[in-house]
Amino acid sequence: MTPAELLARVEAAGLEQVRVAWADLHGSHRCKTLVVGGGFGTRALAAALEGGVGLVSTLLLKDTADRTALPVFEPGALDGLPGFGAANNLLLWPEPASFVVLPWAPRTGWLRATPRWADGRPVEADPRGVLERALGRLADAGYTLRVGLEVEFHVYRLDAAPLPAAVHGWPAEPAAVHALHPGHGLLNEAWADRADAVFATVRRVAEGLGLPLASLEVEFGPSQLEAVFSATDALTAADHLVAFRNGVRQALAREGWHATFMARPPLPGAMASGWHLHQSLATADGPQAGRNAFVRGAAGGGAHEARAVLSDTGAHWLAGLLAHAPALAALSVPTAVGFERFKGSPMAPTAAHWGFDNRGAMLRVIGAPGDAATRIENRLGEPLANPYLCLAGQVGAGLDGLARRLEPGAAVRAPYEPQPAPLPATPAAALDALAADAVLCEALGPALCRVHDAVRRAEIARRAAAPDPAEWDRRELFGRF
């Protein structure tokens, strides 16, 4: 879509405002709302398309409480972060092809934007840009990444207004809630019927945003649900998950519901949620372009070897994911609550291992020789992970497995017995593993690695200093994410 075509669509739709949005380090949209329509016309949007929209650069440095993790006004504090200054501006450049009319916000359009510095240079710490660069390296190797997403989340009925008349604390205490369904009935149709109003809103959001939602399901815990999406290319899948999380929270809040993608809400009886990432490689070009490169023509190796199902390419990719699992945990599990999943949550992994159709393993290999749907499901992540960074990490690890022709070893059959490669127990341990992983640090780039490390360690320090970590989680995660 050209800028002129976009302006014409905005006028024809009778819109009153257009949000120009960008996804931050946490995968949450930040936006500026441009006024259009009526006597205002489309002047502000036309100016944004021609010259960008100014945005304070510290939004790239914010932690879960919106505190800036680096002392931007101290000399030398931003050395090694090109473009950053003393709360200087960057420019958001709207992408006309991303335009949608929001299905829950009357007369409101939406545009994704790409951040650049004033001189036109890309912002190297932009999470989406990091994934784009990673996928470019994958394309150079002759592949594209196909991704199917399953994300668990919780929805509660708000007991009162989302905020009290006087807001206290930073962040504020969230409103009281009660359960959508009582739980302990996986795929229970009666519980699905209780969730019908929520499902209707979620479907409307997905349809309006063009998301390939395949199913909505009742998960095991109270108020816990799951959304499953059809497979698509990796960048589109990441865009879809960011749009889904932001859209579902906004649309349900307008109807008196509180949706959260926090791994385990700080409420009695709550059960942990995961984010399951199905992935396969497709050949990028040539006579077999688009073919699933993980598919094996005929079984090879022993019954417990990866080549019983996976091609050589798939086995090396699997091995790369295993080799870099400790560092990948820092990108896939951003919160301390998320790491608690590894300590006994149902069907959450405890170690870096793989298995055939084994939901207790970190990596679940699915398929059979000749099966075009052969894939690897990574069960490491929590729903709050930034999908751009998580997928960029998968690409970096997988490419290393291909380059070094790594081997994954034998499949695990008893995933909860003591294992030789346990996952990091804390966010700090995972960050240490990422800092020591030269391959992933290179894949992400020095700017992103430094910003990510500073923000996450600031969160760790503040939570450790909190008199009540559960209250910290309630304010910083449950109320905001």
Write the CA distances from 330 to 163, 236, 316, 362, integer angstroms. Answer: 32, 22, 22, 15
263: nearest Cα among 422, 186, 154: 154
Calculate mean pLDDT across residues 61-72.
96
pLDDT score of 83 more than 80: yes
At 346 the pLDDT is 75
Calculate mean pLDDT across residues 147-167.
86
Q: Domain 134-478: which topology?
A: Creatine Kinase; Chain A, domain 2 (3.30.590)
Give the model's confidence band at 287: pLDDT under 50 very low, under 70 low, under 90 confident, else very high.
Answer: confident
Q: Where in the chain is the domain with CATH 3.10.20.70?
A: 3-123
At 404 the pLDDT is 98
Check if the beta carbon of residue 151 is closer than 8 Å to that of residue 244.
yes
At 300 the pLDDT is 80
| HSE value, Cβ hemisphere, 13 Å, CA-based, for 348 | 25
At 328 the pLDDT is 98
At 154 the pLDDT is 98
Calculate mean pLDDT across residues 367-395.
97
pLDDT score of 12 more than 70: yes
pLDDT score of 302 more than 70: yes
pLDDT score of 166 more than 70: no
At 173 the pLDDT is 86
pLDDT score of 371 more than 90: yes
How are beta strands 100-101 and 89-94 bridged, if at all?
Answer: unpaired
What integer best gives the mean pLDDT of the chain?
Answer: 95
At 194 the pLDDT is 96
Write the CA distances from 325 to 261, 306, 360, 380, integer angstroms. Answer: 22, 17, 15, 9
Domain 3-123: give its CATH code.
Answer: 3.10.20.70
The whole-angstrom separation of Cα 72 and Cα 88 is 9
Q: What is the pLDDT of residues 415-462, one digit of tens each?
A: 999 888 999 999 999 999 999 999 999 999 999 999 999 999 999 999
Paired with 276 in beta bridges are 150
Calculate mean pLDDT across residues 251-262.
97
Q: What is the pLDDT of residues 14-36, one digit of tens each?
A: 999 999 999 999 999 999 999 99
At 143 the pLDDT is 97
At 164 the pLDDT is 65
Lowest mean pLDDT among 19-28, 56-65, 171-180, 222-231: 171-180
At 36 the pLDDT is 97
pLDDT score of 165 more than 90: no
Q: Where in the chain is the domain with CATH 3.30.590.10?
A: 134-478
